[in-house]
A and B are shown apart, each in its own frame.
Chain A
Amino acid sequence: MSAAIEKYQIHAYIDGELAPPENKEIEQLMETDESLRNEIIQFSALKRQIKDSYQLVNIPSYQPVVDREKAGWQLPKAAVAALFIGVLIGYLSVNMPFNQAFLSAADQHQMAEQKYLIHLDSADPKKLAAALDQTEKLLVNGGPGIKVDFITNYEGVGLFDVNNSNRAQLEGLLNRFDNLTLYACKRALQRAMEKDARLQLLPQVKHDKPALDQVVERLSEGWKYIKI
């Protein structure tokens, strides 16, 4: 093969990354240099093979990051919400000073936004403790409308094991706050069970879907996301 051509130039030629004069130079050399010609044919075939092979990969069905049905309803919902807010403000402005009415609506909006999603994917004791503290702080300091979802995946699912040392603290929170919901990732749980069949979740823990689906669903609903 011609010594004038570097190997990277062959690949750049195949990928269409060379300038026209360099292309021409290689094409001229190919006419006389059989080994160069063979190299280019082989690597072009390999490039095609890679593309074709990965086209044949079985692709799992798409899981939308936002539920299509819900997304489709968002515009009508927004219109209804706008109408409702308008009527509410109109009604309140007749019965009380405007500033007071506006503040009440703003307060309600803020209250409605008190939804938090705490996500833990580790079995690190420090992170476990931090996650539990954060949950407790939110629930204690939040208003009556606050909602907290605590979701675990990967090694974090062990936190919800009945034999976990944090069980008492977790059950204490569940007893005190009915606005706390626990989720364990379905997939992570399956993997953890394969590794340790003794794993047994607290009965209050929901585990019917993958964590990422739950996180995406909550984010699309406007929940605040806290990753520990």
Chain B
Amino acid sequence: MKLTKKIVTFLCSVQQKERFNQALEAQYDRLYRLAYAWTHQACLAQDLVQETMLKALEKQGDLDNFDQFGAWLSKIMHNKFIDNLRYNRRWEWADETEVDYCLAEACNESKLIEKQTQDALHLAMGKLSFEHRQAISLSDIQGFSYQEISEITSTPIGTVMSRISRGREKLRFLLEKSHSGQRKVVPLRGR
């Protein structure tokens, strides 16, 4: 009897794991975008996502409600990121090739402008303090509510509001500054 129960429990756990892994995969793109916004570098973002998924796998028993899966993963990522900032100097590395403009790449004018805009934004995001960058990315990239951000980052909701407000003000300032100093793309005239 006991053995049968164990087998049934095992089979259930296999199904649960499979469901959990599918849910993880579904969240992968969102997690990566968030990690990229936080770490500012592709290789670190990849590591952060992997570490987050690994931790999620270990802690899957703690998840009470699958509806909150995205917020739960973001909280794990937040904790991993803070741990890495505190204990691991590798997060301070700067990979210049990651943030460099890809002007050498052959691309048409509109793609170049789009790329410049994207890069300028990413650079400006990188100049924000982590708290501001995190609050903005959780709100604007992930679409979390202030209440959810407050829970993910373990900060009062008033602080979240203030971080989003100040962060966006600073971001606008940095973008205006970068636009004023940026080389303009002059359309090529046909011969």
A interface residue numbers (CB < 8 A to B)? 7-8, 10-12, 15, 17, 42-43, 46-47, 49-51, 53-60, 62-66, 71, 74-75, 78, 82, 85, 89, 154, 187, 210, 212-213, 215-216, 219-220, 225
Contact = CB atoms under 8 A, between A and B. Distances in A.
Interface in B38-95: 42-43, 46-47, 50-51, 53-54, 57-58, 88, 90
A75 B161 CA distance: 48
B21 A49 contact: no
A76 to B, nearest CB: 10
Contact of B33 (A11, A57, A66, A75): A57
Contacts of A10: 165
Contact of A62 (B28, B47, B88): B28
Task: Report whether over half of chain A's contact residues are helix, strand or loop; otherwise say mixed.
Answer: helix
Given A53-B121, A219-B57, A65 B140 contact: no
Given A7-B165, A62-B28, A212-B47, A71 B17 contact: yes
A64 B32 contact: no
Contacts, number: 114
A97 B114 CA distance: 76
Interface in B134-160: 136-137, 139-141, 145-146
A12 B122 contact: no
B50 A63 contact: yes
B31 to A, nearest CB: 10
Given A15-B164, A60-B32, A53 B117 contact: yes
Contact of A12 (B21, B136, B137, B161): B161
Given A50-B140, A212-B51, 16 more contacts: A11-B165, A12-B146, A15-B164, A17-B146, A17-B161, A43-B172, A49-B117, A50-B136, A54-B36, A60-B46, A64-B25, A65-B21, A71-B18, A78-B14, A216-B54, A219-B58
18 contacts: A46-B175, A47-B168, A50-B136, A51-B141, A54-B36, A60-B42, A62-B28, A71-B18, A74-B18, A78-B7, A82-B7, A154-B88, A154-B90, A213-B50, A215-B54, A216-B57, A219-B57, A220-B57
Given A8-B162, A57-B33, A212 B50 contact: yes
Contact of A46 (B21, B46, B168): B168
A49 B121 contact: yes
Contacts of B37: 54
B153 to A, nearest CB: 15
A167 B145 CA distance: 53
B89 to A, nearest CB: 9
Contacts of B118: 53, 56
B24 interface: yes
B150 to A, nearest CB: 11
B169 interface: yes
A54 B161 contact: no
B172 A65 contact: no
A204 B97 CA distance: 34
